[in-house]
Structure formats: C-alpha cells, structure tokens
Structure 1
C-alpha cells in the first residue's frame, strides 16, 4: 500500500497537483537511501515520452533543481543529510531528472496562454517622446532611438524590454518582477529606480547613469551572463564594446537626465563624440574635415542653446582654431580647423 501511495504521489507531483503535506511525504521517502531502487523509472519514462521538446536547462530550471534538493534535505537530521556519494542513488537520479524536465513538462500541462503582442516606438533625429509602459513605468526616449516592450507584463515574471539608443527610465517598483533592459550584449536590471541608458549600436559605447535606487549591469555573451557592476545614485558605468572593458565614475545627479530638459553635459569628450550626440538631438548633419581636430576634447554644458550658439561656444573653447559653416537649408554643418589650444 505504501509503494502504491508513493507512486501515486510521484505522478501527482509531476503533474503539479500535490499539496504541501503530500509533497513533504514524497520528499522524505525519496531522501531515504534505503529507497534507492528503480521503482519510479517506469513513471519517469512515461513522463519523458509525453514531452515533445528538449528539457529546459535554463537558470529557472536549475533553480527548480536547487529547490528540490533543499526540500529533500530539509526533512533529514544532520546525520542523514545527503552526501555527494548518495546523490548517485537511483531514487535521487530520478529526482534530478524530474527537476530538469519538470518545467518543460509543466508547460505542456498548462492551458495555452494568449500570445503577448510587442509594441515599439522609434524616434527620428531631433525628436524625443515620453512613454508609459503597461506597469506604469515612465520612459523618456531620446532622439534616433527605438524601444520595444510587451503589451502587458505578467505578474511575478521578468519585465523584459529592448532599447537601441538613449532613454531615461522611471521604473515602477515591483520586487517580484525585476525590470530588465536589453541593449545589445548588455543587460540592465532593476526592481524600481530611475536611470539613464546610452546604447546606440554604431557608437561603440554603452553607458548607464543612476539617479535613484540601485542598478545591476551585466554582459551577455553567447548566453553566458557576467555581472559587471552594481551602481548607486551618482554612479555611471561606461563600457567600450570593441575593447570589452569598462570604467565606473561619478556623475552629477542633475546631469543624469539633463537632456530631457535640453541640457547637454560633456566631460573630457572628443569633438567627434560631441558632434555625434548633437547631430541626433538637433537633427543636423556634421561633416568633419581632416584629422587635425581628432584629439580635441572638451568639458562643456549647453542648456537651451541653439545649435548655432553651441557651435560658437565650441569655437571659442578651441582657442578659435576650430572653424565651422552652417548650411541652414540642408541642415549641414561643416567643421574644420588646425587643432585645439
């Protein structure tokens, strides 16, 4: 009777239908090395045959495996806790198989959910917009950028969105549903905070600056996630995509999202990089002639300035060695010069 009862519990467990007491009884039975036979192989084989896809070896499945090990070991006195050698007993191998296959099997038993539609917004040069996501998070999307997000977020699941370009986020706090921004190989993970991401694919740089809360930055290469840094208010991470390295520095809180209010702050920034940013936000095209200005770097802040005023200020900062010409009809600004002082 006990064997039949345990078999029934095992089948119910694979179907996700056991209650807390039944699950406790099953785990205690399987944790006992004396029960390490092949009683349940037929049940497992039957369960595997019902699967039409490969087992799920994702981090979620591995987490499930860890949870099962913890449940098995929790009911045992220290003298009977599972040692590595006992993990190869037949009954334990069965549970490992159940853990790795469980999440896939479980999905096949659940009602099919309606597909989640994805929405996207692309801004043009000189354009910036304010968006509200399904969870009431606010996004300020910068010029020449693209944001993609699901039509709704599932409670308790990750809030995944994708960004190409620049955006400032004010994320609604939800400890059970981490908010993750995917930008190329980079991932930014938060629970609820405000931060700015700069991730234009062609620029070769990725940066995150934090205004409030904590932000985790990771690199995702070939499915392997590597955590780089945890940022707090006033910190900025700059990642160089080509070199594969990064630095973390301090940033004035007021400058994190200054561009929203038409204020642009540059710190020891090359002329080429400055012009690239200004090009997007002022909807102009720069033509930089020659290589004499490549080494020029500037510290500057421009607030509510016209592009002509900005160019004049840069000319003065260069010791008047940089020259420029503005074609207002075609929105082309030609830049040349002898270098910087």
Structure 2
C-alpha cells in the first residue's frame, strides 16, 4: 500500500515537472511541485534522471539577460523561503543542488517563451483612404469599423489577463468582446477610453479641434492622457457623449444622444448636430472622398443640424444649398473636387 502511494506521488511529481517545462502549470501546481520535492521527491532516481536529461538537452549558451537573472532570483528566494522553516541552511543548499536542474530548465523555457512572444507579437496597422470604410476583426473577436482617413494599430494577438491596447487616429466604431480579466483600451492623441465589453464610437482626428466618445451599449471610462499624465474625465453609459477640446483639454458630456447615432456612419447615415459648415464639409470629405475648396467667409459662423441617409455627394450638396437659404453655392468638378462659395447676400 505504501509503495502504491509512493508510486502515485512519483508519477504526480513527474507530471507536474513536465507541465512546468511546457509552461502549463499554475501557481498552485508550482507550489505543490516544490513542496513534494522538498519532502523527498528530489531523492527519486527516476525523476532525477528525467531532470538530468532535460538539463543536458538545454542549449549550451545560457541566457544571461537581466530579465532572466531577475526571474531566477525571484524563484530562488521563494524556494529558500519555503524551505527555511523546516531545513537548516546546509540542508537548503543540498536541496537546492538537486532542484537547480529544474529551475534552470524552467527558466530556460521561460526566457525562450518570452523571446518568442516578443518576436511573434507584432503590431498590425491599417490605414484607410478618404471615402473608405473597413470592417476589421481583432484577435479577440472584437469588431472594429474604421472610417475614412483613419489609422488603427493593434497587436497580432492578445494575452489573457492583460490589457488589450489599441491605437487610433481618426474615427472608429468598436464592438468589444466581453472579457473582465482583459480590459480593452483605445488610445488616441489625448484620450484613453477603457471598456470591458461594450460598443462605442471614437472620433479623434489629430487635426480637428474636437474629439468625441459616444456610447451605444455598456459602460465606458474616458480619461485624458497627455504626455503620460492620466486624468479621469467621465464614465459614460448608453446615449452619453463626451466632447473634448484637443487644444485646451476642456470637455463636456451630453446625455441626450440617440444611441443609434453612435454607429450611423457605418450604415451610410451621416448625422451632424449643431456643427459648423466647415466641420460638416470636413466630415463629408472623409466620408465621400471628395476635396472641398472653400471660397468666401462664414464657413465657421453658421451651425447645421442635418442628416444624410444613403445620398450621393450631389444630393448632399443640394440639401446644404437649400438649408443655407441658397447662400451656399457649389460646383462639382470631374476630379472629385467641390468648389463651394458662401454668398452672404444671394442675388
């Protein structure tokens, strides 16, 4: 009966040892492995041979990097601390001699995996042209709709338990896969938007005065992040919109936004609320891939609240012409250029 128990214990140690080398052990299993070795597992000749083989099969050139040294020190301190209560210093060193093979092999695997991780985790970048829309699927199955004249950077894969960091220049609508252990963070020039699982729109073109975050579902935390200094701004829930002035950091929060407007542009429905004509034309440039030439004044003086649903650029301009009381004149050329003239007194 005792031999059967010892055999089971030996097999368990070997099983945990193999898992350790493969990087598949959790904290509890590693604690159990060290404890069993401390209680006599290091005297097991079969396990010792297995450890010896692993040591001999390791690459001859050791990893002397600072990270490897620090990792070894941390593990060594844990081993010494756990063993000190029951063993004298001499006994600890005797124990350490036998377990050194295990530690060295494990550290070699750790350093190798870390280097491989750095090699394989690449930053993927996508840039859209004016008038272009892209639907992207991220490694965690989150969905991103990228608007025109925008750029999105993201890692080739996400690590469970770590933050999912995304970098945006321009506009994008996000449908984030829920994962409470891995917060999803969208970083723009000045804003950091943090979520767990929700859908929201971020508008943050570097050359625009305003940046906005609009929530459709879930909850969003928005913070200012300028030169590494983070300042929390607001928590947003569905229908809320944060409007941030990129030149001075001032912001306001609106709670009356229609949730369906958050991603309306992905459905070719463009909504402008109390927007200057200059701002409307800037948005239309990105959505329709046209170039506006503005002649005259007053493009910044007048505000428009308008919606364009599945209209071509000619119909859009005609609608603006009528809404302006015929003061906005336009001419569409053959090379996707729209010449606009504002006449204060139409004749």
Q: TM-score, normalised by structure 1?
A: 0.68
Matched with 1:254 is: 260
Aligned residues between the structures? 246
Matched with 2:308 is: 302
Question: Residues 304, 52 of structure 1: CA spacing in aligned structure 2 closer, same or farther, 3 A cutoff?
Answer: same
Matched with 1:154 is: 159
Matched with 1:171 is: 176
Counterparts in 2 of 1:71-82, with a 5 A limit?
none
Partners of 2:227 and 2:290 in 1: CA distance: 37
Secondary structure in structure 2 of the residue aligned to 1:233:
coil
Out of 209, 213, 220, the residue aligned to residue 218 of structure 2 is 213
Q: TM-score, normalised by structure 2?
A: 0.66
Partners of 2:131 and 2:268 in 1: CA distance: 11
How far has the Cα of 1:146 moved from its partner? Answer: 0.8
2:331 aligned with 1:330, yes or no?
A: no
Contact 2:126–2:153 under 8 Å retained in 1: yes
Out of 193, 196, 203, the residue aligned to residue 198 of structure 1 is 203
Counterparts in 2 of 1:84-123, with a 5 A limit?
110-112=110-112, 113=114, 114=116, 115=118, 116-123=121-128
Secondary structure in structure 2 of the residue aligned to 1:308:
helix
Counterparts in 2 of 1:1-341, with a 5 A limit?
19=31, 52=66, 110-112=110-112, 113=114, 114=116, 115=118, 116-249=121-254, 250-327=256-333, 329-339=334-344
Partners of 1:221 and 1:294 in 2: CA distance: 28
How far has the Cα of 1:185 moved from its partner? Answer: 2.0
How far has the Cα of 1:290 moved from its partner? Answer: 1.8
How far has the Cα of 1:254 moved from its partner? Answer: 1.1
How far has the Cα of 1:205 moved from its partner? Answer: 1.7
Contact 1:210–1:232 under 8 Å retained in 2: yes
Partners of 1:293 and 1:159 in 2: CA distance: 40
Partners of 2:140 and 2:339 in 1: CA distance: 45
Q: Which runs of 5+ in 2 are unaligned?
A: 1-26, 35-63, 68-106
Larger Rg: 2
Contact 2:296–2:343 under 8 Å retained in 1: no
How far has the Cα of 1:292 moved from its partner? Answer: 3.0
Contact 1:167–1:196 under 8 Å retained in 2: yes
Question: Residues 246, 130 of structure 1: CA spacing in aligned structure 2 closer, same or farther, 3 A cutoff?
Answer: same
Contact 1:267–1:300 under 8 Å retained in 2: yes
How far has the Cα of 1:212 moved from its partner? Answer: 0.2
Q: Deviations over 1:61-117 (max 9, x none)?
A: xxxxxxxxxxxxxxxxxxxxxxxxxxxxxxxxxxxxxxxxxxxxxx99942412111
Contact 1:318–1:340 under 8 Å retained in 2: no
Contact 2:169–2:205 under 8 Å retained in 1: yes
Question: Residues 340, 167 of structure 1: CA spacing in aligned structure 2 closer, same or farther, 3 A cutoff?
Answer: farther
Contact 1:128–1:140 under 8 Å retained in 2: yes
How far has the Cα of 1:140 moved from its partner? Answer: 0.5
How far has the Cα of 1:330 moved from its partner? Answer: 1.2
Partners of 2:163 and 2:265 in 1: CA distance: 29
Partners of 1:121 and 1:303 in 2: CA distance: 27
CA-based RMSD of the aligned residues comes to 2.5
Partners of 1:110 and 1:274 in 2: CA distance: 54
Q: Which runs of 5+ in 1 are unaligned?
A: 1-15, 23-49, 54-106
Q: Deviations over 1:108-131 (max 9, x none)?
A: 994241211111111111110101
How far has the Cα of 1:340 moved from its partner? Answer: 8.7
Partners of 1:211 and 1:276 in 2: CA distance: 24
Contact 2:137–2:144 under 8 Å retained in 1: yes
How far has the Cα of 1:339 moved from its partner? Answer: 3.6
